[in-house]
Structure 1
Amino acid sequence: MLATPIYIICSPCPQVGKTLIARLVCEFLLLKNGTAASFDVSLKEPSLLDYLPHITETADVIDTYGKMQLMDPLIFHDRVAKVIDLGFHAFDEFFKMCEEIGFMKETVRRYVTPIILFVAGSDRSSWRSYEMLQRQIPPGALVIIHNEFALRGGLPEAMVGEHVIRIPALPAFLKFYVDRLSFSFTGYLRDEKDWSTELHQWIRRNYTMIRDLELRVMGRQSYKPTAPCGRPRWHER
């Protein structure tokens, strides 16, 4: 049985390019599958909702109702890939909730595969949060994103040697271009006939990395039929 992937793009640090990564993942999924669903848990403007309003819903983890509204569609195996743009303000509460409700075990039972894309920062909170995720997330599902535009130096020592996806830094004028609310990565690939442009190559390279990541993570999963699932534990809280 093919599982439903959930991409959780997260970081405890602001200004690391998290929403940029979420946009790339969403547009890749739309191009590959024709459909996707995304959830914007962010306080910053502009956010994923501004870029992809036709597939994005706002969400929060402030109270039990908000958590249920976010988690219920995530745990539903409908083969529509999900993307969460998790704001840094909600990082701790989200993963605390995941641990409390046994989210990772629940996903296995329900044929759902989380893929955690941890966007690295340069401060202490970044590697401390990464160490926390290492204890909570299966190794194959936890991936470091090194956005070279936001993190100019090397990765923190604690992250060296782990599975890393590097997003090359664009020149400032191209970064300004892709940050426009009207810009579409897939639209650019379709409209720009010159494949040799720097931006064309950058988008294709990143799409290829996302494709290879999905094949690697999803290929590791082995699903067996289970008994019918009851209501998840967060409904009992």
Structure 2
Amino acid sequence: MTFRIGFLLYPQLTQLDLTGPAQVLAAMSDSALHFVWKTLEPVPSDAGIGLLPGDTFASCPALDMLLVPGGPGQQRLMGDGAVLDWLARQGGQARWVTSVCSGSLLLGAAGLLKGYRAASHWAYRDYLPAFGAEIDAGRVVVDRNRITGGGITAGIDLALQVVARVRGEEEARAIELQLEYAPQPPFACGRPELAGPALTERVRRRLAADLKRVNEG
């Protein structure tokens, strides 16, 4: 049976939050990917890459899996009734409800993380308890049918875990090999506990400036 996966698009999302897991899930057998926004107009990502929706909230079918990416544009959607209603409706019936990075805060705002352990980007996970979620610092956190990822690149790991659960570990292993997913980060500083306080604070300030720019733009 076709496994229907819906990705929320929105202006100023982080494109790798979406395209990383989408690349994995597009390789999964008998999957159908739906890229969804309010309109079918191109959606600008934070990297300047335009993303083209294929469905609107109205046309998107019932989903087996919902995935919400993060990005500096996430903050503007936290009170957007149309977005939160669609997330609540799709997330309420989907087999799997997932997010990458600060996308978990949108799941939380839609009421989908109450009583669940959840991850987010390290700079934003302290906001999760405001939505009734329990912070988990894991790279990928699975709590029943909620799967939430840490920052950005964690989306690839998350998607491989989904494949393993939906189609079996052998297929997930084959996709990992197909994508030559064997990361070897050159500087080993991709988490605050590895980077140290000075670099972490510098990046935190940079992220805050990016949020300010997007929300004032």
Same structural fold, with TM-score higher than 0.5 when normalized by the shorter chain = no
Q: What TM-score does the superposition give when structure 1 sets the normalisation length?
A: 0.39
The structure number with the bigger radius of gyration is 1
Q: Which has the higher contact order (CA 8 A, sep 6+)?
A: 1
